[in-house]
Amino acid sequence: MNVGLIGFGRLGRLLALRFKGDVKIHVYDPTLDARKAKALGAVPSSLAQACAQDVVVLCVPMAAFEGVVRRIRSLVRPGALVVDTCSVKGAPVRAMKRWLPKNVSLLGTHPNFGPDSAAESLEGRTIVLCRARMPDALYRRAKRALTRKGLRVVELTPREHDRRMASSLILTHFVGRGLIAYGAKTTGVDTEGYKRLLRILETVQNDSWQLFEDMNRFNEFAAPMRRRFLAAMKETDRRVTS
């Protein structure tokens, strides 16, 4: 099978590495380093070439997502499957349904892993699937392909995905970014609890600020989560100082 990969950031490079033995990957990125693509077994391609493949995987920032979808709508061939990989699902699924032709299948995904957590393998990692528009047989094949890689598949609606992610992924990143701003670091006499707290910092510090901004901007449940969390911290502070 031929796959077009649009976007060659940290996640795009990880997917190219982990799936290079299973499919032929044609990669497009406006700032693509052809040598890095070839080193991972991918074929440097134009946008039109990447969009002409059986499966087109979009690994682009959420802020740029709708613009990219509108740009490729005339390039994706009939019968192709377009897959998104954003950490938010409601907005990208709506954009794909709105702009891409009806003869194109659509699948929303959220790989709940990254280059750090899946540095060695995809085995046991979780990927969320939000079936947007695709035939039953194609959907089953996609699930089988992912489970064969050792991935744990969780099926959710886009809304339920975003609700859960606000209380898990986005909260984790919010706390982690707060720790970075606070200047948290090892003290030399760290307790086990503090070491676990620093691991949250390690989880988020390699991800871009744009990813953090986008997951908060485009997830409708993010702002209420932040308000609840900040209110809880304020109440905790009030209790300890009263």
Is the confidence at residue 15, as pLDDT, over 90? Answer: yes
Separation of alpha carbons 50 and 137, rounded Å: 24
Is the confidence at residue 21, as pLDDT, over 90? Answer: no
Separation of alpha carbons 122 and 36, rounded Å: 21
The residue with tokens 């998104």 is 84
- Yes or no: say if 18 and 41 are a contact pair by the CB < 8 Å rule: no
pLDDT in tens, 107-163: 999 999 988 888 888 999 999 999 999 999 999 999 999 999 999 999 999 999 999
Is the confidence at residue 207, as pLDDT, over 90? Answer: no
SS3 content of the chain, % helix, strand, coil (to 5): 50, 15, 35
212: which residues sit within 8 A by CB, 6+ positions away?
Answer: 173, 177, 204
Q: Which fold has domain 2-156?
A: Rossmann fold (3.40.50)
pLDDT computed for residue 205 by the predictor: 86
Q: Summarize the confidence of residues 200-216 as an average pLDDT.
A: 89
Separation of alpha carbons 240 and 68, rounded Å: 50
pLDDT category of residue 206 using cuts at 50, 70 and 90: confident
Q: Apex CA 67: angle with CA 217 and CA 64, to 5°?
A: 40
Percent of the chain whose predicted confidence (pLDDT) is above 70: 100
How many Cβ atoms from other residues are within 10 Å of residue 78's Cβ?
Answer: 8
User: 163 is written with which tokens?
Assistant: 């609700």
126-133 β-sheet, strand order: 43-44, 24-28, 2-6, 55-58, 81-84, 105-111, 126-133, 152-155
pLDDT computed for residue 118 by the predictor: 84
pLDDT in tens, 73-110: 999 999 999 999 999 999 999 999 999 999 999 999 99
What interhelical angle do 158-166 and 222-241 show, nearest 10? 20
Domain with CATH 3.40.50.720 in the chain: 2-156
Separation of alpha carbons 95 and 98, rounded Å: 5
Separation of alpha carbons 205 and 81, rounded Å: 33
pLDDT in tens, 171-187: 999 999 999 999 999 99
pLDDT computed for residue 128 by the predictor: 98
